[in-house]
Amino acid sequence: MKTWIPWITVIALAGWLLGSLRQPPETGFQTRDFGKLPVLLNGRIQPFDSVARNSLLQIRTRQSIEDVTADQWLVELMMKPDAADKRLVFRIDNLELLNLLGLSDKQKYFSFNDLQPHYGDIDQQAQRIDKLDTSARSVFEQQLMKLFNATQLYQRLKLTLCPADSKDLGREVAAYQQLIPDGIAAVRAKEAGQKYDEKTLNIFLGFLAEFDDMAKYAYPLVVPPLQDAKSRDDWQNAGTSLMSLSKGADLNPAVKSYVAMVAAYQNDRPEEFNQALEGYRQWVGQWYPAETGKGIHEAFYNFFQAFYKAIILYILAFLLAVTALLTFAIAPKLSETLRRTAFYLVILTGLIHTFAIVFRMVLEGRPPVTNLYSSAIFIGWGCVVLGLMLERVFAVGLGCAVASFAGFVTLVIAQNLAIDGDTMEMMRAVLDTNFWLATHVVVVTLGYASTFMAGFLAITYILLGLCTPLLGQKVGQLELGKVLTKMVYAIVCFATLFSFTGTVLGGIWADQSWGRFWGWDPKENGALLIVIWNAIILHARWGGLVRDRGIMNLAVFGNIVTSFSWFGVNMLGIGLHSYGFMEAAFNWLMLFIATQLIIILLGLLPSRFWRSFQGRAPAPGAAKA
Amino acid sequence: MFLERLIKFFASLRLTVVCLALGMVLIFTGTLAQVPLGLYRAQNEFFRSFFVYWQPEHFAWKIPVLPGGYLLGGVLLINLVSAHWQRFSLTRNKAGIWMVHVGLILLLLGQLLTDMLAQESTLHLRVGDARNYSESERAYELAVSDVTDPASTQVVAIPEPLLLKQRAISNPELPFTVRVHDFYANSTLTNNAAAGYEPAPGNVGTNGLWFKSLPRETAMNLRDLPSGIVEIVTPQGTGGSWLVSAYLTQPQAFIWQKRKYELLLRPERFYRPYSLRLEQFKHDVYKGTDVPKNFSSRLILDRPDTGEHREVLIYMNNPLRYAGETFYQASFDEDDGGTILQVVHNPSWVTPYLACLLVGSGLVVEFLSHLVPFLKRRRAV
């Protein structure tokens, strides 16, 4: 086989990645550029694009709708809600809920117009359920609350830029501005018991009531503070800003631009929309360069979907590496070509993975792990790095196979954790410390990663040993089985170092922030379990209590221990109750633990059942116990 | 001979593995037990004990089912020390292992010391308040104060464990005996007669109140609120009975031999020779959300005996360490008008830091001493 095949394959895939970065120019309304505008939501600056995607994730569990992008949908919803109300954006899976609302169970997605006749029912149920403890809610009640929250979010988004029933915001705001002096005079006259023009007063109060609704319910804060404001964080929503006109304030340039954009969109005039958008982009870019830059960069990050692409590449690399492993005895040259391709591909994907993590860190101004979502991504990254290191030392394809498998699985878990919405939320006060996030959290997460890595390698050992003769085959000077044993031992050593140091650093953080080094809190106990488990593996080996196969079984059990500390402790006390997403996660966790137990049972089979050890007596890897 | 075998047993790796495995079972069950028992009780029953007991329903005695934290920690400690005594020589290539295990010994001993010596209490201050004492989070005491002279109050504080024994308590400072009748570690009060409630004795202040015993609280955020009946027994006979309760925050007064006394069941107090006054409490949130960004308390520290008088700022992850005690920002009043500081006195707080350093570097040394030669060998091949 030719040595250029791996290079060509990887370069072609890199080309595909770069090609996916090119976007065709947008015709008509420049919603993509609109999506880059900065707003303040969840306490942080983010682009409209993130608002759109995260809202769609919560409402529809997807980041887009079939024929429109998230940005296009958001623009329509905020500017021409009547049209948006026809789109199928609400996802309902629960049959009881569909029955309650009298909706067909043939479809999954419903429009706001579909739901509107039943809004009273939803609201009534939600009032009742809201009083229940979250852990005491049934699946139906959970799903109803989810739908209720989705409709709330949807309606708040609608009020971000214009009042309900607005037909031409430009004219409406102009009329309001003109009416202000007379309106105020009428209000004062009425208060003083003097004669006033009732019609003027009513129209004026009508405007104020509509803007007041916007001020109360609008979702993101879209109006940046003026230059003389006290704090750069002092963003407002459009409603508050419009209300302040009646107190003598000038029309904020941002509001002026947004009103122009809305009016152009309502009147279907793309050029005017794009012009107003461009004007605002220049203004905000001039006065708020950091915020504007953040918006542009985060929108790029959203668009790139690096983790999603990495999933695809990891699958590909995994298939290549497994094929390489299975063929290395039959067709060594083909196997080597496939292995090299897989190796380069994991490096390429690892680079994208790293790039996306670093990009996220810069966007957030935080160390890599800040929540469960980012811990999944980082565990995957740690496994990939460890796997590549193993592959570099033992060039047999095992490192690649396990690295790509771990990368793929953890990123899929991360994607599922992201449906709650914003994954870059601000850190609560006690967590607001980059020093401890960078030390304790990173180290302990690497401890998780390496324990998983050892477990996955052990699974490979058991499966290959049972089903193939490969463990007995020589790679270089060593048998594959021995290579795997060395790998698992080395990784368990790493895992001990990381999990111990990480756990104790956590204790020191706790001592720093509330004076208790150790409080037997579930999360602490989970981390301690991993440390002890790794210590058990090492001591059992040193004491000769277990040999190769025994160590492998112990390492697989390490997967159970780690998954319990990573996820299980978050579900304590709710295992028996239904808890929305966590209920699904709980089932997955149980399934994972069950598969690990089955693998351990397989690993306990006497060595005569192992294809790799057949025809050899006595089996070299047999456990003593 | 026997001694040799004993040492061998205690130094064996098998014992290490068995203890560690039991430790895992203990930690796992102790974690799950926090759901029904609450953190505090689970901690006491699983980790701060020699055995974990199981009491079958309608059964008088308890069966030990698992070794508790103290027992396992103790055996591991003996195991570690004797293994080093017996097997390891202090040579250069064992340096890593030595560092790891000395670090672990330090960690275990440090935690034992913390368990025995550490004292936690809280200091609740409203803006403008100054206090020279903190209060226990769980334990109560019955304060019997002689308030005849408002300038110098004499207080005799009877701690809760003594009250729970429901005996007569005398003290040389008191001219009478305090006899404790019913005393419940957790209780509730009501204004009306209801099933299961006992009436309070008819004295001033607590007239018409009814109280009953409640099971101990298990939830983290709830506290036991004790109540009980105390009788003042004088050489001339009874001086009256009172209902004392954590629910009653005002002292109840009585006169005996022309001296005025007050009774109050209050959280146990820890006095210190300096005071803290809360100048300002800040609760910052992220704009547009109610997610807390920071909590901080600006305080004046005042120490009359040394004349020390200065401002201190306590905020999240930045405690005040002073005179062997540490003050942490723990909580706050709902109206943001007051702060709650956690006060910890822990003489062995520094041991985990040292232990972590020792074990961490020990592990690095140990693994590098294996990894580097291994990689060199491979490169040579």
- The answer on B307 and B232 residing in a single domain is no
Tokens matching residue A336: 């080597």
* Contact: B47, A477; criterion CB under 8 Å: no
* Contact: B356, A430; criterion CB under 8 Å: no
| Interface mutation target, options A156, A390, A513, A538, chain B, most CBs of B under 10 Å | A513
Chain B residues with beta carbon closer than 8 angstroms to that of A233: 287
* Boundaries of domain holding B296: 119-131+271-345
Query: Does residue B204 register a pLDDT over 60?
Result: no
Q: Read out DSSP for B252-278?
A: EEEEETTEEEEEEEEEEEEEEEEEEEE
- The answer on A356 and A326 residing in a single domain is yes
> Considering only alpha carbons, which residue of chain A is nearest residue B367?
A493
Alpha helices in A159-227 (DSSP H): 169-191, 198-217
Rounded to the nearest angstrom, the minimum Cα separation between A414 and chain B is: 23
Q: Which of B34, B326, B353 sits opposite A522 (nearest CB)?
A: B34
Residue A509 included in any domain: yes
Pair A424, A367: CB distance under 8 Å: no
- Reported as a single tens digit per residue, the pLDDT across A514-541 is 777 888 888 889 999 999 999 999 999 9
Residue A3 included in any domain: no
SS3 of residue B170 by DSSP = coil
Question: What pLDDT does residue A622 have?
Answer: 43
Choice among A238-247, B53-62, B94-103, B323-332 with the minimum mean pLDDT? B53-62
- The answer on A483 and A384 residing in a single domain is no
- The answer on A344 and A313 residing in a single domain is yes
Coarse DSSP helix, strand, coil percentages of chain B, rounded to the nearest 5 percent: 30, 40, 30
- The answer on B262 and B203 residing in a single domain is yes
Tell me if chain B has a CB within 8 Å of the CB of A426.
yes
> Considering only alpha carbons, which residue of chain A is nearest residue B355?
A504
Residue A101 included in any domain: no
- The answer on B329 and B363 residing in a single domain is no
Rounded to the nearest angstrom, the minimum Cα separation between A159 and chain B is: 16
Give bridge partners of residue B338 from the DSSP assignment: B126
- The answer on B310 and B368 residing in a single domain is no
Residues 360-379 of A with CB under 8 A from B: none
CA neighbor of A276 nearest in space, from A265, A287, A292: A265
Rounded to the nearest angstrom, the minimum Cα separation between A447 and chain B is: 13
- Arithmetic mean of pLDDT, A87-92: 92
Give the DSSP letter of residue A428. Answer: P
Residue A579 included in any domain: yes
- The answer on A456 and A419 residing in a single domain is no
- Arithmetic mean of pLDDT, A197-217: 91
- The answer on A566 and A462 residing in a single domain is yes
- The answer on B257 and B220 residing in a single domain is yes
Q: Which of B243, B270, B297 is the last residue of a domain?
A: B270
User: Confidence band (pLDDT; 50, 70, 90) for A573?
Assistant: low
| Interface mutation target, options B317, B336, B339, B372, chain A, most CBs of A under 10 Å | B317
> Considering only alpha carbons, which residue of chain B is nearest residue A538?
B17
Amino acid at B279: E
- The answer on B264 and B339 residing in a single domain is no
Chain B residues with beta carbon closer than 8 angstroms to that of A494: 367
Q: Which of B43, B291, B370 sits opposite A520 (nearest CB)?
A: B43
Q: Which of B114, B317, B328 sits opposite A517 (nearest CB)?
A: B114
User: Confidence band (pLDDT; 50, 70, 90) for A375?
Assistant: very high
Tell me if chain B has a CB within 8 Å of the CB of A519.
yes
- The answer on B329 and B255 residing in a single domain is no
- Reported as a single tens digit per residue, the pLDDT across A109-166 is 999 999 988 888 889 989 998 888 776 778 888 889 989 999 999 999 999 999 988 8
- Arithmetic mean of pLDDT, B164-189: 87
User: ∠A489-A491-A492 over CA atoms, to 5°?
Assistant: 65
Burial (CB count within 10 angstroms: exposed 0-12, middle 13-18, buried 19+), residue A533? buried
Q: Number of H helices and number of E strands within chain B?
A: 8, 19
Of A269 and B91, more confident: A269
Query: Does residue A576 register a pLDDT over 50?
Result: no
Of B196 and B351, more confident: B351
Question: Considering its fold, how many domains does chain A have in total?
Answer: 3
- The answer on B249 and B154 residing in a single domain is yes
- The answer on A579 and A509 residing in a single domain is yes
User: Confidence band (pLDDT; 50, 70, 90) for A583?
Assistant: low
Half-sphere exposure of A459 toward its Cβ, with a 13 Å CA cutoff?
22
Residue A190 included in any domain: yes
* Contact: B31, A525; criterion CB under 8 Å: yes
- What average pLDDT does chain A have? 89
Residues 204-263 of B with CB under 8 A from A: none
CA neighbor of B260 nearest in space, from B351, B175, B361, B135: B175
Residues 327-346 of B with CB under 8 A from A: 328, 330, 342, 344, 346
Of B254 and A384, more confident: A384
Question: What pLDDT does residue A579 have?
Answer: 40
How far does CA A385 lie from the centroid of its chain? 21
Please tell me the distance from the alpha carbon of residue A182 to that of residue B110, in angstroms, as a whole number.
Answer: 77
* Contact: B39, A519; criterion CB under 8 Å: yes
- The answer on A522 and A415 residing in a single domain is no
- The answer on B45 and B164 residing in a single domain is no
Question: What pLDDT does residue A575 have?
Answer: 38
Query: Does residue A479 register a pLDDT over 80?
Result: yes
- The answer on B311 and B266 residing in a single domain is no
Please tell me the distance from the alpha carbon of residue B283 to that of residue A345, in angstroms, as a whole number.
Answer: 50
Percent of chain A with pLDDT over 70: 95
- The answer on A395 and A311 residing in a single domain is yes
User: Confidence band (pLDDT; 50, 70, 90) for B57?
Assistant: confident
> Considering only alpha carbons, which residue of chain B is nearest residue A554?
B21
* Contact: A520, B111; criterion CB under 8 Å: no
Q: Distances in Å between the alpha carbon of B296 and those of A3, A354, A360, A552, B131?
A: 63, 37, 29, 50, 18
- The answer on A316 and A256 residing in a single domain is no
| Interface mutation target, options B287, B295, B357, chain A, most CBs of A under 10 Å | B287
* Contact: A221, B43; criterion CB under 8 Å: no
> Considering only alpha carbons, which residue of chain A is nearest residue B331?
A514
Question: What pLDDT does residue B202 have?
Answer: 59
Tell me if chain A has a CB within 8 Å of the CB of B361.
no
- The answer on B365 and B260 residing in a single domain is no
Residue A116 included in any domain: no
ipTM for the whole complex: 0.83
Question: Considering its fold, how many domains does chain B have in total?
Answer: 3
- Reported as a single tens digit per residue, the pLDDT across A536-561 is 999 999 888 898 999 999 999 999 99
- The answer on A244 and A310 residing in a single domain is no
* Boundaries of domain holding A327: 306-426
- The answer on B93 and B186 residing in a single domain is no
- The answer on A522 and A410 residing in a single domain is no
Residue A146 included in any domain: no
Q: Which of A288, A315, A348 is the last residue of a domain?
A: A288
Residue A204 included in any domain: yes
